[in-house]
């Protein structure tokens, strides 16, 4: 929730019609939905100190699963597409899940070879 305004500012700077713009939209919408799911989960559990019923447990798993997906999308934005990290960002690089897709930039070498 704290990162949302900064993500929105970053998203507004991405050119329209790029893959990065679409990934950013899914990332933001997914995070907003995850927040809503966790809020509903909290409301269902609030005040009940006994073992939770099935709906809050299901909502917890849904929220965690959705958060994992949006976290991966955030990684795509920063690491693969280079959004707000690289002035020469490749905003239309294919997904890391695409068959035969290579990294958009060479890996950083650390230490001695």
> What would the pLDDT profile of 6-28 be if each residue is shown by its tens digit?
888 888 888 888 888 999 999 99
64 in a domain, yes or no?
A: yes
98 in a domain, yes or no?
A: no
11 in a domain, yes or no?
A: no
Q: Specify the pLDDT at position 37.
A: 97
112 in a domain, yes or no?
A: no
94 in a domain, yes or no?
A: no
Q: What range defines the domain where residue 67 resides?
A: 20-80
Q: Which of these ranges, 22-26, 45-49, 67-71, 76-80, has the smallest mean pLDDT?
A: 45-49
For the entire predicted model, the pTM comes to: 0.76
Report the percentage of the chain scoring pLDDT > 70: 81
111 in a domain, yes or no?
A: no
Domain count, the chain: 1
Residue 70: which of 28, 15, 11, 17 has the closest Cα?
28
Q: pLDDT band for position 58 (50/70/90)?
A: very high
Q: Which of these ranges, 15-19, 64-68, 97-101, has the smallest mean pLDDT?
A: 97-101
Q: How far apart are CA 111 and CA 113, in angstroms?
A: 7
58 in a domain, yes or no?
A: yes
Q: How far apart are CA 24 and CA 8, in angstroms?
A: 9
71 in a domain, yes or no?
A: yes
């Amino acid at each position: 929730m704290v990162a949302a305004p900064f993500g929105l500012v970053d998203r507004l700077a991405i050119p329209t019609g790029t893959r990065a713009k679409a990934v950013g939209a899914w990332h933001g919408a997914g995070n907003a939905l995850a927040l809503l799911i966790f809020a509903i989960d909290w409301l269902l559990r609030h005040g009940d100190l006994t073992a939770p019923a099935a709906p809050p447990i299901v909502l917890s798993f849904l929220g965690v699963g959705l958060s994992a997906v949006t976290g991966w999308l955030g990684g795509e934005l920063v690491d693969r597409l280079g959004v707000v990290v690289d002035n020469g960002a490749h905003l239309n690089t294919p997904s890391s899940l695409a068959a035969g897709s290579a990294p958009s930039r060479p890996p950083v070498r650390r230490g001695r070879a």
